[in-house]
């Protein structure tokens, strides 16, 4: 009997010895050749010309398939058998005898059993999770397992024998066709990524040349890609931490250089042989290298996500030393400090070349910030339910899909619950909103409250979001204004019935009622004041909304005699201080108001009368009369009181209008004054400073990294940052200072009577205070803010508002470009 030539493709030499012993034991003459890669297999098939080819199944599924393809191509008449590590020696000899008998044509039973062996190989390949397709040189599909068919979107049986390009013409002209043809012609493997033909799944495609054509492996990487995308979005909040770890990585030298995650290596006896810098920094575990896992567990508690304590014997590194691959999440708590860190770990055994376990390694990622971000996202998701104003979602068919708790009054008026259709009037309004794709507005009463509703269509027109704002107080203010106007009209009517002495006053009242602007009213008051108080001069002052300033609005007679100062504090007037008429018949003996003293010293006034103008019990202005002679007649006093009362109603009406116009000078988000009011206030302060030869400080403030807040946490958190900064700034400045939102994330502060040193000092105090503020949501702190400050002074940095603002803006830019979170003053002109 001649020797049987056996070519054996194996991984370990011990496997080849096992086969050789089996052959010798069963008395089979043989000649053995061993190869351990595809190239050696190809060469030996051509030179050795074996009678039998054995393939060890310790290779990966793709490597086994390539090897069998090479053997079948180079040795077409030679049996190729796949061996398992678990096969007994007698079974191995039987398989070899069967293969020899098939080669020599000895019996159908042997061929049948060989067919079963090859069928076992196909079944094994069919169990792999990756897709596998083989094509012959005519581009016919010769094999396709189930994952491959799912990748294409058909059943496996529908593919066999089909021409690839005829079955899937959409692939023609695509990069996929280019790759496939390159492998078929050049016989060089390629790898690329592509989407499924009939699905949205993403695959990594590996194409290898085979004996009959090409073999295509499709590895589904959809979940991995999706996970990477989600992690990228959520890990933006960790960008700063990653940069810090990157800096640490550049300094790291050693075995784990370049790894940003924690790396723990453990010996078989449970000793920690290596931990990298990210492993020790968060919890201060530097001293635990070369100590045991048990010693580590004496310093920290490892908790499961449900809060239960994990015993030391369940430590991932110790379990991996026993040969297990362990993945999961855990909480590490430092016993001394109580600090908690969420960690995601993956632990696996380490083996030597012979497969013996030499220890274990764990890769750990700190996911504390990720968990915090998850919790914050969950909190933001509850925002509609926690909103104090009504929010509803109504579908295109009129059904109420959602209503928060604040919408309960509306739902009660409608006598509806979620899931029911809205009233017909609302249904028609929703139809118009969706048809126009434009928001609609509606005011509706719900119980004792009045709401302003805004209907916002959500494209492509499936539903409408309804946002309600409580405008009850605004409506009441409008009613109050109407009521005051009615009182003014009634008072004018009463004046018409007075005697001839008040006819002129009635005419003035009629003209005042016709005035459309404040300037018109001032001219009327000045004209009739001259006629009513002939020989005396008079001034009408208006009290500011903050009741901290009295300002001249009009004057008559001989103004240089009357006017002492266009502005003064209300406390400087006895009438305003007491809320009663204050008469000084003789300035030399009477109690003279402070704002009249200068005229007394100049000798241009003999008597003075100050009458507070009251409306609805509130002082809104002051009417002042000054006479060059001593004594003011009782009739003139009564007339002045009547005029003051009449003017008070006019000013009250104006003040109510200003209340309604408050939104024009207030920023709706922060409640601070807006840019328009800032410009007006700055001009006023500069004018006053120029007259009194004083200085005015200007602070320009910008929130650092505000775009990162918006990108990371969303615009709601960005708005929270702006509101919080506004509250802190307003709480830290003086009463006379003016804080405004200048635009976007930029704020401005006017500091009257402040030098450059004072302004820089105030800016530094504000900066230090801002950086100590921690924002929180539902009592949970989650972010700190900082701000950059630019400081400029009038007139040192400019004699106009425009120049001073430009100087402060340049200083702010220097503060941000030099590192942020700092104060920079402008350079003097």
**pLDDT value of position 634:** 85
Query: Which one has a higher pLDDT value, 561 or 473?
Result: 473
Q: DSSP characters for 386-430?
A: H-SS-EEEEETTSBEEEE-GGGHHHHHHHT--TTSBPPHHHHHHH
**pLDDT value of position 108:** 46
Nearest to 698 by CA among 674, 676, 682: 682
**pLDDT value of position 429:** 85
What three-state secondary structure class fits 737? coil
Confidence category of residue 497, pLDDT binned at 50, 70, 90: very low
What three-state secondary structure class fits 25? helix
Distance CA 571, CA 653 (A): 24
Handedness of CA 632, 628, 572, 612 (dihedral sign): positive
Average pLDDT over residues 327-340: 81
Range of lowest pLDDT (114-128, 467-481, 814-828): 114-128
Q: Which residues in 68-130 belong to E strands, given as ranges?
A: 80-83
Asked whether residue 101 carries a pLDDT value surpassing 80, the answer given is: no
**pLDDT value of position 90:** 43
Rg (CA), the chain: 45
638-697 per-position pLDDT tens digit: 888 988 888 888 767 766 665 666 677 889 899 999 999 999 999 999 999 999 999 999
Asked whether residue 603 carries a pLDDT value surpassing 50, the answer given is: yes
The DSSP code for 209 is: E
Distance CA 437, CA 458 (A): 8
713-761 per-position pLDDT tens digit: 888 888 989 999 999 999 999 999 999 999 999 999 999 999 999 999 9
Helices (H) and strands (E) in the chain, counts: 29, 33
What three-state secondary structure class fits 690? helix
Nearest to 333 by CA among 307, 363, 314: 307
SS (H, E, C) 601-661: HHCCCCEEEEEEEEECCEEEEEEEEEECCCCCCHHHHHHHHHHHHHHHHHHHHHHHHHHHH
User: What's the whole-number average pLDDT of the chain?
Assistant: 80
Q: Which residues contact 734 (CB under 8 A, 6 or more apart)?
A: 751
Q: Are the C-beta atoms of 474 and 449 separated by less than 8 Å?
A: no
**pLDDT value of position 722:** 92
Q: Cis before residue 795, ω within 30 degrees of 0?
A: yes
> What is the percent of the chain with per-residue pLDDT over 90, rounded to a whole number?
19
Distance CA 172, CA 178 (A): 9
Range of lowest pLDDT (58-72, 198-212, 514-528, 773-787): 58-72
Average pLDDT over residues 39-46: 81
Q: What is the CB neighbour count within 10 angstroms for residue 460?
A: 7
Distance CA 68, CA 45 (A): 12
Average pLDDT over residues 310-324: 86
Q: Are the C-beta atoms of 378 and 391 separated by less than 8 Å?
A: no
Confidence category of residue 808, pLDDT binned at 50, 70, 90: very high
Q: What is the CB neighbour count within 10 angstroms for residue 486?
A: 10
Q: What is the CB neighbour count within 10 angstroms for residue 709?
A: 22
Query: Which one has a higher pLDDT value, 4 or 797?
Result: 797
Question: Helix 108-126 vs helix 61-74: angle between axes, to the nearest 10 degrees?
Answer: 140
Nearest to 122 by CA among 75, 67, 65: 65
Q: Are the C-beta atoms of 77 and 53 separated by less than 8 Å?
A: no
**pLDDT value of position 249:** 45
Which residues belong to the active site?
745
Asked whether residue 447 carries a pLDDT value surpassing 80, the answer given is: no
Residue at token pair 């709706």 = 668
The DSSP code for 196 is: -
Confidence category of residue 203, pLDDT binned at 50, 70, 90: confident
Handedness of CA 797, 803, 805, 807 (dihedral sign): negative
Average pLDDT over residues 7-17: 68
The DSSP code for 238 is: G
Q: Are the C-beta atoms of 787 and 725 separated by less than 8 Å?
A: yes
Give the range with max mean pLDDT: 227-236, 282-291, 810-819: 810-819
Average pLDDT over residues 598-614: 85
Q: Are the C-beta atoms of 676 and 730 separated by less than 8 Å?
A: no
Confidence category of residue 487, pLDDT binned at 50, 70, 90: confident
Report the residue count for the chain.
829
Average pLDDT over residues 152-172: 81
Q: Are the C-beta atoms of 31 and 95 separated by less than 8 Å?
A: no
Distance CA 776, CA 449 (A): 31
**pLDDT value of position 525:** 86
Q: Catalogue the long-range contacts made by 564-573 (C-beta closer than 8 Å, 24 or more residues apart).
A: 564/595, 564/596, 564/597, 564/598, 564/599, 565/595, 565/598, 567/688, 568/594, 568/595, 570/543, 570/619, 573/610, 573/622
Distance CA 114, CA 81 (A): 8
Burial 507-545 (b: 16+ CB within 10 A, else e): ebbebbbebeeeeebbebbbebbbebbeebbbbbbbbee
> What is the percent of the chain with per-residue pLDDT over 70, rounded to a whole number?
82
To the nearest 10°, report the CA torsion of 283, 285, 291, 297: -20
For residue 724, CA distances in Å to 114, 322, 669, 786 come to 79, 54, 11, 12
Average pLDDT over residues 130-151: 83
Give the range with max mean pLDDT: 29-43, 404-418, 488-502, 587-601: 587-601
Q: Which residues contact 745 (CB under 8 A, 6 or more apart)?
A: 702, 703, 706, 721, 722
253-311 per-position pLDDT tens digit: 455 555 667 788 888 888 887 777 665 555 556 566 677 888 788 778 888 888 888 88
Structural domains of the chain in order of their starting residue, each with its CATH number: 4-126 (3.40.50.2300), 131-220 (3.30.450.20), 230-375 (3.30.450.20), 382-470 (3.30.450.20), 477-660 (3.30.450.40), 665-825 (3.30.70.270)
Copy the structure tokens of residue 731. Answer: 């709480």
Q: What is the CB neighbour count within 10 angstroms for residue 78?
A: 19
Q: Are the C-beta atoms of 212 and 69 separated by less than 8 Å?
A: yes
Asked whether residue 779 carries a pLDDT value surpassing 80, the answer given is: no
Asked whether residue 23 carries a pLDDT value surpassing 90, the answer given is: no
Nearest to 570 by CA among 598, 594, 540: 594
pTM above 0.85, yes or no: no
Average pLDDT over residues 581-605: 85
Distance CA 54, CA 668 (A): 81
The DSSP code for 753 is: T
**pLDDT value of position 471:** 84
Range of lowest pLDDT (45-49, 196-200, 410-414, 680-684): 196-200
Task: Give, for 349, the enclosing helix (H) or strand (E).
Answer: strand 340-351
Distance CA 520, CA 507 (A): 15
Q: Are the C-beta atoms of 505 and 495 separated by less than 8 Å?
A: yes
Range of lowest pLDDT (85-89, 141-145, 179-183, 765-769): 85-89
Q: Which residues contact 209 (CB under 8 A, 6 or more apart)?
A: 183, 184, 187, 188, 189, 215
Average pLDDT over residues 127-132: 74
Pairing of strands 607-615, 618-627: antiparallel
């Amino acid at each position: 009997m001649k020797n049987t030539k056996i070519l054996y493709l194996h991984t370990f030499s011990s496997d080849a010895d096992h086969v050789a012993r089996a052959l010798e034991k069963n008395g089979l003459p043989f000649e053995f050749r061993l190869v351990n890669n595809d190239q050696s297999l190809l060469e030996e098939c051509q030179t050795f010309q074996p009678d039998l080819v054995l393939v060890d199944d310790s290779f990966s599924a793709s490597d086994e398939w390539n090897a069998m393809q090479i053997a079948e191509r180079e040795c077409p008449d030679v049996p190729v058998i796949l061996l398992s590590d678990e096969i007994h020696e007698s079974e191995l000899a039987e398989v070899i005898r069967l293969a020899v008998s098939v080669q020599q044509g000895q019996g159908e039973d042997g061929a049948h059993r060989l067919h079963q062996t090859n069928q076992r190989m196909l079944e094994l390949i069919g169990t792999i999770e990756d897709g596998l397709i083989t094509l012959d040189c005519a581009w016919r599909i010769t094999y396709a397992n189930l994952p491959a068919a799912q990748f294409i979107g058909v059943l496996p049986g529908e593919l066999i024998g089909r021409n690839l390009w005829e079955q899937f013409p959409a692939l023609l002209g695509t990069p996929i066709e280019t790759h496939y043809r390159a492998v078929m012609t050049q016989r060089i493997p390629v790898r690329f990524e592509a989407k499924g033909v009939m699905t949205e799944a993403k695959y990594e495609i590996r194409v290898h040349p085979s004996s009959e054509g090409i073999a295509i492996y499709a590895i589904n990487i959809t979940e991995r890609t999706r996970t990477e995308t989600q992690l990228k979005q959520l890990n933006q909040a960790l960008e700063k931490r990653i940069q810090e770890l990157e800096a640490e990585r550049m300094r790291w030298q050693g075995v784990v250089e370049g790894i940003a995650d924690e790396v723990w290596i453990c010996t078989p006896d449970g000793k920690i042989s290596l931990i990298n810098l990210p492993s020790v920094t968060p919890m201060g575990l530097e001293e635990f290298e070369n100590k045991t896992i048990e010693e580590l567990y004496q310093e920290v508690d490892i908790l499961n996500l449900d809060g239960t304590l994990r015993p030391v014997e369940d430590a991932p590194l110790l379990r991996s030393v026993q040969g297990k691959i362990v993945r999961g999440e855990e909480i590490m708590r430092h016993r001394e400090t109580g600090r908690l860190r969420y960690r995601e770990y993956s632990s696996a055994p380490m083996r030597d070349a012979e497969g013996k376990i030499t220890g274990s390694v764990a890769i750990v990622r700190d996911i504390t910030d990720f968990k915090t971000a998850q919790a914050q996202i969950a909190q933001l998701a509850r925002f509609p339910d926690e909103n104090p104003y009504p929010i509803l979602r109504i579908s295109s068919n009129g059904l109420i899909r959602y209503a928060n708790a604040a919408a309960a009054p509306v739902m009660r008026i409608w006598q509806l619950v979620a899931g029911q259709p809205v009233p017909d009037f609302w249904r028609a309004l929703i139809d118009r909103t969706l048809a126009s794709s434009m928001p609609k507005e509606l005011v509706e009463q719900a119980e004792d409250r009045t709401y302003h509703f805004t209907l916002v269509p959500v494209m492509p027109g499936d539903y409408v979001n309804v946002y309600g704002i409580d405008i009850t107080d605004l409506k009441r203010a409008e009613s109050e204004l109407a009521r005051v106007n009615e009182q003014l009209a009634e008072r004018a009517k009463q004046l018409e019935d007075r005697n001839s002495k008040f006819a002129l006053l009635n005419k003035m009242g009629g003209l005042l009622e016709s005035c459309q602007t404040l300037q018109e009213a001032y001219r009327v008051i000045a004209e009739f004041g001259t006629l009513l108080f002939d020989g005396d001069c008079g001034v009408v002052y208006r009290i500011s909304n903050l009741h901290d300033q009295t300002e001249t609005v009009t004057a008559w007679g001989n103004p240089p005699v009357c006017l002492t100062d266009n502005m003064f504090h209300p406390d400087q007037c006895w009438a305003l201080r007491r809320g009663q008429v204050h008469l000084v018949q003789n300035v030399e003996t009477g109690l003279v108001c402070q704002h009249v003293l200068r005229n007394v010293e100049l000798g241009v006034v003999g008597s003075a009368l100050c009458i507070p103008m009251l409306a609805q019990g509130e002082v809104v202005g002051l009417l002042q009369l000054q006479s060059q002679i001593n004594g003011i007649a009782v009739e003139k006093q009564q007339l002045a009181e009547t005029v003051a009362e009449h003017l008070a109603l006019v000013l009250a009406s104006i003040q109510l209008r200003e209340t309604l116009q408050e939104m024009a000078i207030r920023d709706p988000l922060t409640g601070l004054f807006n840019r328009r009011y800032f410009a007006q206030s700055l001009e006023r302060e500069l004018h006053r400073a120029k007259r009194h030869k004083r200085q005015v400080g200007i602070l320009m403030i910008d929130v650092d990294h505000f775009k990162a807040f918006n990108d990371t946490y969303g615009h709601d958190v960005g708005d929270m940052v702006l509101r919080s900064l506004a509250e802190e700034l307003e709480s830290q400045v003086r009463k006379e200072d003016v804080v405004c939102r200048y635009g976007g994330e930029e704020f401005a502060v006017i500091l009257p009577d402040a030098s450059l040193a004072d302004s820089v000092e105030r800016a530094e105090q504000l900066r230090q205070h801002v950086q100590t503020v921690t924002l929180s949501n539902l009592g949970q702190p989650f972010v700190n803010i900082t701000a950059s400050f630019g400081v400029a002074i009038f007139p040192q940095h400019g004699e106009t508002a425009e120049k001073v603002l430009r100087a402060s803006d340049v200083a702010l830019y220097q503060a941000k470009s030099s590192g942020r979170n700092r104060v920079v003053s402008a350079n003097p002109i």
